[in-house]
Amino acid sequence: MSPGRSAAATARSGVVRVDRVTRPVDDVALAEALDPLVLAVDIGSTASRGGVYDAAGRPVTGLRHKVPHAFTVSPAGASVIDPDQVVAEVEQILDAVTADRALGTRLAGVAMDTFAASLIAVDADGRPLTPCLTYADSRCAGEVATLRAELDERAVQQRTGTRIHTSYHAPRLRWLARTEPRTFAAAAGWWSLGEYVYRRLIGVNAAGTSTAAWTGLLDRRTGDLDADLLAAVGVRAEQFSPVHDLADTVDPTRTPRWPALAGARWFPVITDGFASNVGAGATDPTVLAAATATSGALRVLLAGPAEPLPFGMWNYRVDGDRTLLGGALNDVGRAISWAQSTLRLDRDPGATLAADPSSATPLVLPYLTGERAPGWAADAHAVITGVTAATDAAALYRGTVEGIALTYARVATELGPAAPEVGQVVASGRVSNDQPAWLQVLADVLERPVTHVTLKRSTLRGTALLALGVLAPDVPRAPRATGDTYEPVASRAAYYAERRARFDEAYGAVVRR
């Protein structure tokens, strides 16, 4: 228990101070780092970042770099980024982290993850014909409705593990065919952002299994592209890069210009969701990971395809043996940042979240960029109800955070039957690190303990750990860093049950599915 904190206060908050809090994964000096070293790159929603890790999974002191960026968005639903801008960011990262001549040729691997479900049309020479469409681009909402009318969506989901939604390729390809027919006809390839970066850096066309799965076009059992879905949207399998499991490293056809990478193996690009679970320590069916960044998710790693697969969830094939089951939320950090900047709180947000819940708190459906799991309503919008003349900024902020927690709970409810072994919930990411008090709200809503994984850059570390699993499988890894475990407060259960019922009622009234 922390100094000055009474037992009664601890019981009211629900926070449990574990007796043996693990220390953060300390940086290690280059001279003391264990070989082999891995250079990991993470292309996220708000920045590209990279760093060097040693064989124990420890970041090497001073060998990291970050380049911020932002998606270009529009009221019409566009959410894009210039792929050449991202290539330049990655080059800047590689320049920065390999500049230390003491590295020599100790870097044995390069591994990269990107935000999932990105799409770029390229010509025969690999030049981009479109910007990179991100997971949050919702302009193809009309094509979602059309495809759902044409196809048996439940059958599609059982094959690919994904619903028909704006986040996936099928409706996006239909939308491009309708709105940019010349571009669609000229496209020689349909690549993810990571594939494009690799082509520019090392001349390779390759997609990691998880990257291919997040297109919504990959059969979750066989690992092949789904022929029926390709035919439905008018594209061919040869327009997509070969799919590689993680151990199937790729050989550059162009010599990288960084001498420190001369002997490095390049791993196929994976998705940030897969890496996030690994970085948080959620690597088996007993641990459910809550990712809390700009977007969010609940995910559990399974030994094979999820059976049964709930209709509101996805189930991505991530390698030859494993799949990732879960559901994603478009707006977590995005919604919190919006609330903080719009409401201009005059007091600490943490105090607002640590307070006991109040029935005067507005109810918020936090869909700023549409809904993914569990309802998959691509054109859903945020809704705020229960506002009175007495409602202040703090109450609206609290309502936003409660709404985010309730969306996680909706995912958890549907996911539960397909993941019966789950015994632990861990939460990681920027939102949990910046606003740890929100985890008490999450624990109360989920009615189960939530452990805070405090490690920063957990996704980046997860990418490094996946590569190290191939390069150095027998080297013990440094433990993940954890902080408080937040226990649900029993006296709040009735309040959140009523909130959940009101949320579901409002959702049913205003969200079109």
**Containing structural domain, residue 88:** 30-272
Taking the C-alpha atoms of residue 495 and residue 398, their distance in angstroms, rounded to an integer, is: 14
Domain boundary among 255, 272, 289: 272
- Residues 422 and 294 both lie in one domain: yes
Assess if residue 256 is contained within a domain: yes
Domain boundary among 213, 240, 272: 272
- Residues 346 and 248 both lie in one domain: no
- Residues 156 and 131 both lie in one domain: yes
pTM of the entire predicted model = 0.89
Q: Report cis status (omega within 30 of 0) of the bond before 366.
A: no
Look up residue 156 and give its amino acid. Answer: V
Assess if residue 22 is contained within a domain: no
- Residues 130 and 95 both lie in one domain: yes
Domain count across the chain: 2
Assess if residue 416 is contained within a domain: yes
- Residues 121 and 210 both lie in one domain: yes
DSSP annotation string for 188-242? SEEE-HHHHHHHHHH----EEHHHHHTTT-B-TTT-SB-HHHHHHHT--GGGSPP
Checking DSSP bridges between strand 107-114 and strand 37-43, what pairing results, if any?
parallel
Q: Residue 369 is part of a domain; what is its CATH number? A: 3.30.420.40
Crossing angle of the two packed helices 393-415 and 333-343, in degrees rounded to 10: 170
- Residues 409 and 508 both lie in one domain: yes
Look up residue 176 and give its two tokens.
């491009």
- Residues 313 and 429 both lie in one domain: yes
pLDDT along the chain (513 residues), means of 10: 36 43 66 97 95 97 97 94 98 96 95 96 98 93 95 97 94 98 98 98 96 97 97 97 94 91 96 94 96 93 94 96 94 94 86 94 94 86 95 96 98 95 94 95 97 91 97 94 94 97 95 77
Taking the C-alpha atoms of residue 239 and residue 124, their distance in angstroms, rounded to an integer, is: 10
Assess if residue 373 is contained within a domain: yes
Domain boundary among 272, 299, 329: 272
Look up residue 162 and give its two tokens.
């994904």
Look up residue 479 and give its amino acid. Answer: P
Look-up: residue for tokens 């009523």? 498
- Residues 414 and 323 both lie in one domain: yes
- Residues 176 and 312 both lie in one domain: no
Assess if residue 470 is contained within a domain: no
- Residues 198 and 346 both lie in one domain: no
Taking the C-alpha atoms of residue 271 and residue 52, their distance in angstroms, rounded to an integer, is: 19
Taking the C-alpha atoms of residue 412 and residue 289, their distance in angstroms, rounded to an integer, is: 11
- Residues 395 and 253 both lie in one domain: no
pLDDT confidence of residue 9: 41
Assess if residue 469 is contained within a domain: no
Assess if residue 71 is contained within a domain: yes
- Residues 38 and 162 both lie in one domain: yes
Assess if residue 146 is contained within a domain: yes
